[in-house]
Chain A
């Protein structure tokens, strides 16, 4: 390779290396005679009918070569999406191929090779998306399309042979009940934190003496590990439930959703209050002076100048809280608060890893989707703010 040397893409080299490991060194699927016995590894050729194995390898090889060469971004993106789609579609086929007919005990789940390949091409997709610099609306559209694609696969039933969906089939009702609890817990505590935190932030902005004290206390709370805080709250809430009339009737109890809700609310306060303070402090004095000049009252200034200008920063705080709450709500299951954590901890207890996945995967997906949507929303409001500023300037 002297003369016209081909310049390889460095990221492409990493991706191709991971993909090669995923294909040749790691199993594609795991087969188990029932849900808790140790699994047996199956390679791509063992797990798939030969036509499918060849197709998958071809798609992956072409995608890896495209990743290695320095080709235009849309091609790289298309290659990564094609590879991911092929993996997603064929893993369901592997389940049907490996499960003996009429056998309802056997379990097939994706194995490390499958996850490595997904990781490799997700890296390529993430890199392409980052470099494409999509607009916020386009990012949400991509997210919606991805969600639709997954929903279509789920609806078509081609994943039904996979172990995680067999776990789901066994507890479809409780899955949705826990999902509702999880989302209610995460969003409810966020809503409460916004309602309490924004006024508190405004107050802290106006009264500097209060600011340090409030932020310090919230910082300390944020530092306390979640199980510890859940545990510490059990005692006082239990006391309230017994001694305050009416408290038990509205659901305040020592264990269950109440301490989880209070803990998540307390964790949520710091990002909301701190970002409100930072956002308000960042309002340009000129904007405020101008508003004062045209005779706006303090209240009018707050609602029509300061708050809109600070909003993107506050929204960033809300994003942090939402992603954090979706993750932390998992731990609520330990104190009987429900949520996806129920499956995670049940699965750990029964060493049934597919049950762990049934709890963990929706949590990760929810947190990821929330991050994308709120990032896009923040960027849109910041953009509008900048435009408004430009118009007034």
Chain B
């Protein structure tokens, strides 16, 4: 792969982020002007690296669970046996997305108490929607000719699903997962208001102690993380779509 400018820029930002997470003290002079009265410059109630890894871990667990459940549900309602649920599940996705993530988070607390659990549940529930919606779109908008051809060569329903329908819907499903990851990264940040250990802690500690350096550190880490992950997942999707396009063309 050629090291073009956009690729270089991404690698540079990533390197900068890793550098900052591992040795935040190197960056002290940058954030120094934002503090007053000798307040600490670099977040000091825990390691930024640990918080980042915990943040990513919550997002990863919640999104994996959401992807598995959403995909299973989408497959179910697009089969004849679950067809009765299709119209309802469409409107449920619409209704569900009007629920603000903060509300989902706040409403999960009375049910299960503070900590990581309500955050995981809110992330899981909220992450379901984009994946389910995109999986539905992908599985219901397949090219008719291809599905007919698969039937014609004698594939049974299961083979059609695994070998034809899911691979064709994969780019759209991945786009749903990407949206879900970005929403989860944001919601996990808010999760620190219910005592989950995430990067939101840094921002909120800064807001409470009126320390702009903390706020900016937390904000920048979360923001850059989100942009890089979004960007990386888009690249994976493009790659897959290209490979799919090639293999379909070759098969034709």
Chain A interfacial positions (CB closer than 8 Å to B): 9-11, 112, 123, 126-127, 129-131, 220, 223-232, 234-235, 238, 254-255, 323, 326-328, 330-331, 334-335, 341, 344-345, 347-348, 351, 353, 356-357, 359-360, 363-364, 367-368, 370-371, 375
A226 to B206, CA, bound (A): 15
B91 proximal to A (CB < 8 A): yes
Q: Does B218 contact A (CB under 8 A)?
A: yes
Question: A219: nearest residue on chain B (CB-CB)?
Answer: B230
Does A223 lie within 8 Å of B226, measured CB to CB?
yes
* Residues of the A chain whose Cβ atoms lie less than 8 Å from the Cβ of B235: none
How many whole Å from A119's CB to the nearest CB in chain B?
A: 11
* Extra 14 A-B pairs, beta carbons < 8 Å, given A225-B222, A344-B106: A129-B91, A223-B230, A226-B189, A226-B190, A227-B190, A227-B219, A228-B203, A228-B218, A231-B218, A335-B207, A360-B103, A363-B100, A367-B99, A371-B98
**How many angstroms from the CA of A327 to the CA of B126 in the assembled complex?**
13
Query: Does B223 sit within 8 A of A, measured CB to CB?
Result: yes
Interface residue B246 (Cβ < 8 Å from any Cβ of A): no
Across the A-B interface, how many residue pairs have beta carbons closer than 8 Å?
144
Whether B100 pairs with A330 at a CB distance below 8 angstroms is yes
Residues of B within 8 A of A230 (CB): 219
How many chain B residues touch A (CB < 8 A): the figure is: 47
Q: List 21 A-B contacts (CB under 8 A).
A: A10-B84, A10-B85, A11-B85, A126-B95, A130-B87, A229-B219, A230-B219, A231-B207, A231-B218, A234-B212, A235-B212, A327-B102, A330-B102, A334-B207, A341-B102, A344-B106, A348-B194, A356-B107, A364-B98, A367-B98, A367-B99
With beta carbons under 8 angstroms apart, the residue of B109, B212, B227 that contacts A223 is B227
Given the known A-B contacts A232-B219, A323-B98, A353-B109, are A11 and B182 also in contact in the complex, defined by CB atoms under 8 Å?
no
CA distance A367 to B96 in the complex (A): 11
Query: With a CB–CB cut-off of 8 A, which chain A residues contact B102?
Result: 327, 330-331, 341, 344, 360, 363
In the complex, which of the residues A10, A223, A364, A371 contacts B103, with contact meaning CB atoms closer than 8 Å?
A364
User: In the complex, what distance in Å separates the CA atom of A334 from the CA atom of B207?
Assistant: 8
Residue of B nearest to A327 (CB): B100
Q: How far is the CA of A330 from the CA of B34 in the complex (A)?
A: 27
Interface hits, B187-202 → A, CB 8 Å:
189-190, 193-194, 200
B88 cross-chain contacts in A, Cβ below 8 A? 11, 123, 126-127, 130
A313 to chain B, nearest CB (A): 17
Inter-subunit contact B103/A363 (CB<8 Å): yes
B residues within 8 A CB of A254? 212
Least CB distance, B12 to chain A, in whole angstroms: 16
Q: B111 at the A/B interface (Cβ < 8 Å)?
A: yes
Judging by beta carbons under 8 Å apart, are B98 and A126 in contact?
no
B107 to chain A, nearest CB (A): 6
Question: Contact: A356 with B193, CB < 8 Å?
Answer: no
Q: Is the CB of A368 within 8 A of B95?
A: yes
A334 to B168 CA separation, bound complex (whole angstroms): 43
| Nearest 6 Cβ contacts at the A-B interface | A327-B100, A225-B186, A231-B219, A353-B110, A228-B219, A224-B223
Instruction: Give, as a whole number of angstroms, the nearest-CB distance from A9 to chain B.
Output: 7
Cβ-defined contact, B193 with A345, below 8 A: yes
The residues of B that contact A224 with a CB separation of less than 8 Å are 222-223, 226-227
Measured between alpha carbons, how far is A123 from B88 in the docked complex, in Å? 8
Contact B101 A327 (CB under 8 A): yes
Q: How far is the CA of A225 from the CA of B223 in the complex (A)?
A: 6
Does residue B244 face the partner (Cβ distance < 8 Å to A)? Answer: no
Are A229's CB and B223's CB within 8 A? yes
- Given A348-B106, A367-B99, answer yes or no on A228-B223 (Cβ-Cβ < 8 Å): yes
